[in-house]
Amino acid sequence: MEQPNGPALRAIGTTAAEFERDLVSNLYFERGTTMESASAQDVYQSLAVTVRDRLVDRRARTATAHQAANPRCVYYLSAEYMLGRQLRQNLQYTGTEEVARDVLKGLGVSLDEIADFDVEPSLGNGGLGRLAACLLDALATADIPAVGYGIRYDLGLFRQAIVDGAQVERPDDWAFDGSPWEFPQQDDRQAVGFYGRVEVEAGRRRWIPEETVLGEPSHMLVPGYGTQTVNIVRLWRARADSDAFNLADFAAGRSAEAVQEVLRSENISKVLYPADSTEFGRELRLKQQYFLVSCSLWDIVRRFHLRNSDWTVFADKTVIQLNDTHPALAVPELMRLLVDEYELDWDTAWSITRRTFAYTCHTLLPEALETWPVALFERLLPRHLEIVYAINQTHLDEVESRFPGDGDLRRRLSLIQEEPERRIRMAHLAVVGSHAVNGVAELHSRLLAETTLADFARLWPERFRNVTNGVSPRRFLRLANPRLAALISERLGGEGWLTDLDQLRGLAALAGDSEFQRRWRVVKRDNKLDLAAYVRAATGVVLDPDALCDVHVKRFHEYKRQLLKLLHVITLHDRLRADPGADVPRTVVFAGKAAPSYHAVKRIIQLINGVAKVVNADPAVAGRLTVVFLPDYNVTRAELIVPAADLSEQISLAGKEASGTGNMKLALNGAVTVGTLDGANIELRDRVGADNFFLFGVDAACAAEVRRGDYRPGEIAGSDPELAAALAAIADGRYGAGFGDVLDTLLGRDEYLTLADYRAYLDAQDAAAAAWRDPARWTAMSIRNTAHCGFFSADRTVADYRDRIWHADPVPVPPR
């Protein structure tokens, strides 16, 4: 950055000498130590700062370019971000990995060992949070000015341990050893109100909050790949006012009372709610949502005013994407700011608001659609409730004028649910307040418009569209699978595919090339050796790198049907005991976390571990079948498992998984999918070709029909001897006593049609095994999967959002 009048900045260079000088100097000035006496943690922290400095320089130039261009900015509001580890990413994006490796080696330290000190900030549950991170990566890579807003939870998603086969949740104090990637911005604190009352002052309504909490931002840098752009994610942490601590109480020995007020405030950003489907946590959760929204909107307005003075251009300069409904309070909050604080008239404010917001829905499950009790909402946010009512009034008037006399329709479209309790429907609020609403895969967007949001789609068809999810090829191929990335670059003659993923098509011509196939298999085998080393250290289970690596990794949910996979494992075990040639040598890897309160799936985790114990101890199947539950699935674990996978399990009940993104990551890394016609599986199969995908199961329409009809899982179990044997094995207690509850859900309602799809699933698995027996055939399928995955790049997803929702232009950042 040019500094015409200030003191000269230290030059940031990429040569080994410059890198070493900066590293040693950071060690000395930031950690107060020297190479001779530094701990590994010291070296890690200094290395991180050295790499970070290279991004800071780009960030400064990015901010200058944005200020000059006054562009339309994309603001992404999300309660979750799963950014993954930062060190290797940032080494790569700054082109300093080799330099760092050499410099450290010269200093007698190994980069690989140091890199293990890097901690992933697990500020999310699953797909929704990781999608946010992939989109930010692609936004920066596309030079689109963007800020991600989120909450800096002190404790991320719980760390999962397995004790006696069961999930145990431990706190994830991710910043415990320091957090070198963060830039705290204490001087930008922002007050957020809660509770209180509404007063009328000179004819205007105004909220007088009763409680105030401070939002303290901190930044993480989000570099683009192959560009100078560095965007930011701005995470808010709740702080009490500095005089909230009660000295008198403390002096009198009442230490708990002394910190009461501090705790009450700071609890707001204490933990991420580990729900991945239904809503719970109530008041604190609603407080979190408003906290995020209030801090972020204030910041967005501040940024707007740095470059503009006229509200009429606000929506031309600002687009706010709501990542699901968790930040939907932003709609009434922007109205409150515009009408109450900036004194715009209601209609002008409403027109600005609608043009500003867009909403992405990530579910179809009715139980996952957020609603808030009106009574709670009124107590916490009295002025916002008035605004929601006013928005609803105008909205229902519009419905009445378009569909006169249809009281039922008005009730269905209302922002307020009346029965059994009055509640605010956040998805309705988000739709009404947005100019664009999108689902995350073609099937999902269609079903949204036909079922969940059908009435809205009839009212405003022009608002609805699909934007199929995508994943970052930088993280999930280049960083996670450097061996495959190197092979691809070698054959495609460069790394252009990293930002133009359709180039992978060039690999299709090599699918049958035996030498290329051999190299492809060597890469996969080496990746399996890495996974095996980790699994052995973490669980003691030994994996065979030549076995088919069959992975079911994602959050635990009944609709994702980990139990269907487990029934397959039990049947395989039976078959192999009778005939060792009944299946190919296979390793089945399960990983994923269950919401702590989701008892039914925590039981499934226990059952998996029970089955794994029996199978792995059975000499009759040694070397044929191994089952492992790898604890604590997160982005870092995914980066280890995904490159090693041969077979990708995407077996949710059709019509339940909005999109899935693990399906994309695995196929991109050459895993072949066994999957249902659900979410983005459909688009994946269309692209990689039906011959390179093992399809099974009922489709969404058929599933809905079965559910409506007279479905009798017991009859299916009775007429399929292998299934009956698998269920009997669970019942007889060999995997642990008392799994009657699991059997009851299967034989009772079997909500997710596990038994209905069992036979088709086994047939698909047999087809997969047959393909695996022919390595040339399998490898060709694997290569074709990677070759046809270009569409699933997050760069394409961002281009779709840009062209069809955001209409934001890139702002290139000039090199130094």
Q: CB-wise, 507 or 641, nearer to ligand NBY?
A: 641
Residue 41 belongs to what H/E stretch? helix 40-69
- Cβ atoms of residues 535 and 543 within 8 Å: yes
Q: CB-wise, 219 or 656, nearer to ligand NBY?
A: 656
Tokens of 87: 């060190």
Cβ of residue 128: shortest distance to ligand NBY, in angstroms? 3
Cβ of residue 805: shortest distance to ligand NBY, in angstroms? 15
- Cβ atoms of residues 187 and 200 within 8 Å: no
Active site annotation includes 278 = no
Q: Pick the catalytic residue: 66, 287, 362, 568?
A: 362
Q: Pick the catalytic residue: 555, 586, 602, 656?
A: 555
Q: Pick the catalytic residue: 463, 603, 665, 802?
A: 665
Tokens of 392: 């609803």
Q: CB-wise, 136 or 547, nearer to ligand NBY?
A: 136
Q: CB-wise, 283 or 341, nearer to ligand NBY?
A: 283
Active site annotation includes 307 = no
Strands 318-323, 166-170: pairing is unpaired
Cβ of residue 469: shortest distance to ligand NBY, in angstroms? 5
Burial class (CB in 10 A: 0-12, 13-18, 19+), 252: exposed
Angle formed by the axes of helices 514-539 and 482-492, to 10°?
170
Active site annotation includes 665 = yes
State the sign of the Cα–Cα–Cα–Cα dihedral 275, 173, 101, 105: negative
Q: CB-wise, 84 or 713, nearer to ligand NBY?
A: 84
- Cβ atoms of residues 372 and 424 within 8 Å: yes
Torsion of CA 560, 562, 567, 568, to 10 degrees: 90
Active site annotation includes 384 = no
Q: Pick the catalytic residue: 560, 593, 637, 784?
A: 560
State the sign of the Cα–Cα–Cα–Cα dihedral 762, 765, 767, 769: negative
Sequence-ordered strand ranges (E) for 146-285:
146-151, 159-163, 166-170, 182-184, 190-194, 197-201, 204-208, 211-223, 230-239
Residue nearest to ligand NBY (CB): 127
Active site annotation includes 555 = yes
- Residues of this chain that bind ligand NBY (CB under 6 A): 125-128, 131, 273, 275-277, 279, 362, 368, 370, 440, 469, 657-661, 679
* Whole-number CA gyration radius for the chain: 27
- How far are the Cα atoms of 123, 269, 320, 499 from residue 812, in angstroms, in the given order? 30, 35, 21, 16
Q: CB-wise, 223 or 660, nearer to ligand NBY?
A: 660
Q: CB-wise, 179 or 289, nearer to ligand NBY?
A: 289
Cβ of residue 439: shortest distance to ligand NBY, in angstroms? 9
Cβ of residue 594: shortest distance to ligand NBY, in angstroms? 13
Q: Pick the catalytic residue: 159, 237, 444, 554?
A: 554
Cβ of residue 657: shortest distance to ligand NBY, in angstroms? 5
Q: What is the 3-state secondary structure (H, E, C) of 775-802?
A: HHHHHHHHHHHHHCCHHHEHHHHHHHHH
Active site annotation includes 524 = no
The residues, any chain, with a CB within 8 Å of residue 764's CB and separated by 6 or more, are 674, 694, 695, 696
Cβ of residue 281: shortest distance to ligand NBY, in angstroms? 8
Q: For the beta carbon of residue 204, count every other beta carbon within 10 angstroms.
A: 11
* 3-state SS class at 285: helix
Cβ of residue 548: shortest distance to ligand NBY, in angstroms? 25
Q: CB-wise, 132 or 762, nearer to ligand NBY?
A: 132
Residues classed as catalytic: 362, 554-555, 560, 661, 665
